[in-house]
């Protein structure tokens, strides 16, 4: 499909295609429990709280040092266990998609579509498979581990990867957060801010190219 459409339109996933928050603490805690079991280690309540957090930060590193493990390797292992937990959640049907996602079918007749998310790569691919979304010519979530964590939006790394794969220099990115707008700007994309119920009171520190109330209005914007 590369190069045979008039433009590239990339989408965020959570809050744009799927309803609800990206991930919850249960998946990180489940990943931590599996990792501690794999390492044959135990953690105090304070260490558990630091190790079960989403971020690779100073408290995580200090907790790893306290239990005697390499923080990068431990984080990578925990991330991979968490990625599998969240992917299985998608496969079980607990995540629902917005009704206006049906608009993707018509958009795909005129544009190359891509899906780029801060969620784990295996989770994004599970969403495409389980929600029957064959319209995407490019599908990418972040890699589990420290490197993938650091490449999250607003870093434009994965958006730039999408453009390179699809053979495009510019296009549109549709997101629901300020980080999406920033990442789009840094990748040289027009930023479409999608207004949903969960972000109706959001105050952005940067201005998107356009704000739309639904994916159904995206086609009209692209034709204007």
Q: Could you tell me if 48 and 142 lie in one domain?
A: no
Q: Could you tell me if 52 and 86 lie in one domain?
A: yes
Q: Could you tell me if 85 and 160 lie in one domain?
A: no
Q: Could you tell me if 164 and 83 lie in one domain?
A: no
Residue-range definition of the domain harbouring residue 216: 8-20+96-223
The per-residue pLDDT for 6 is 52
Summary mean pLDDT of the chain: 94
Percent of the chain exceeding pLDDT 70 equals 97
210 vs 187: CA distance, rounded Å: 16
Mean pLDDT in residue range 66-76 = 98
- What the block records as the tokens of 138 is 């490019």
Give tens-digit pLDDT for 7-32.
Answer: 899 999 999 999 977 778 999 999 99
Q: Which region among 4-18, 65-79, 101-115, 148-162 has the lowest average model confidence (pLDDT)? A: 4-18
Domains identified in the chain, total number: 2
Task: Indicate the pLDDT class of residue 5, thresholds 50, 70 and 90.
Answer: very low
Burial class (CB in 10 A: 0-12, 13-18, 19+), 165: middle
User: End of a domain among 91, 117, 132?
Assistant: 91
User: End of a domain among 91, 122, 149?
Assistant: 91
The per-residue pLDDT for 224 is 72
In a domain, 3, yes or no: no
Q: Could you tell me if 118 and 210 lie in one domain?
A: yes
The SS3 of residue 193 is strand
Q: Could you tell me if 66 and 155 lie in one domain?
A: no
Q: What is the DSSP letter of 102?
A: G
With b for 16 or more beta-carbon neighbours within 10 A and e for fewer, the 27-36 pattern comes to: bbbbbbbbbb
User: End of a domain among 69, 91, 113?
Assistant: 91
Asked whether the beta carbons of 28 and 58 are under 8 A apart, the reply is no
Mean pLDDT in residue range 66-75 = 98
State the CATH number of the domain containing residue 199: 3.40.50.1000
Q: Could you tell me if 175 and 194 lie in one domain?
A: yes
pLDDT at 102 over 80: yes
Give tens-digit pLDDT for 160-190.
Answer: 999 999 999 889 999 999 999 999 999 999 9
pLDDT at 72 over 80: yes
| Among candidate residues 200, 203, 150, the one with its CA nearest the CA of residue 181 | 203
Q: Could you tell me if 106 and 167 lie in one domain?
A: yes
Q: Which phi and psi (to 5°) does residue 52 adopt?
A: -90, 0
């Amino acid at each position: 499909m590369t190069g045979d459409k008039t433009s590239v339109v990339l989408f965020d996933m959570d809050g744009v295609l799927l309803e609800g928050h990206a991930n919850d603490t249960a998946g990180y805690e489940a990943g931590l429990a599996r990792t501690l079991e794999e390492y044959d280690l135990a953690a105090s309540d304070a260490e558990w709280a630091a190790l079960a957090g989403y971020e690779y930060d100073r408290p995580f590193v200090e907790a790893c040092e306290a239990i005697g493990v390499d923080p990068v390797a431990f984080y990578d292992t925990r991330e991979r266990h968490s990625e599998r937990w969240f992917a299985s959640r998608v496969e079980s049907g607990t995540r629902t998609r917005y009704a206006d996602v049906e608009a993707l079918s018509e958009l795909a007749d005129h544009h190359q579509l891509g899906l780029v998310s801060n969620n784990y790569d295996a989770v994004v691919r599970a969403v495409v498979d389980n929600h029957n979304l064959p319209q995407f010519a490019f599908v990418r979530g972040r890699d589990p581990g420290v490197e993938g964590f650091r490449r999250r939006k607003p870093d434009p790394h994965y958006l730039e990867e999408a453009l390179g794969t699809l053979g495009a220099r510019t296009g549109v990115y549709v997101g629901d957060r300020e980080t999406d707008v920033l990442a789009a700007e840094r990748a040289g994309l027009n930023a479409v801010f999608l207004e949903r119920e969960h972000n109706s009171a959001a105050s952005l520190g940067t201005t998107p190219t356009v704000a739309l109330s639904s994916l159904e209005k995206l086609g009209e914007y692209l034709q204007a």
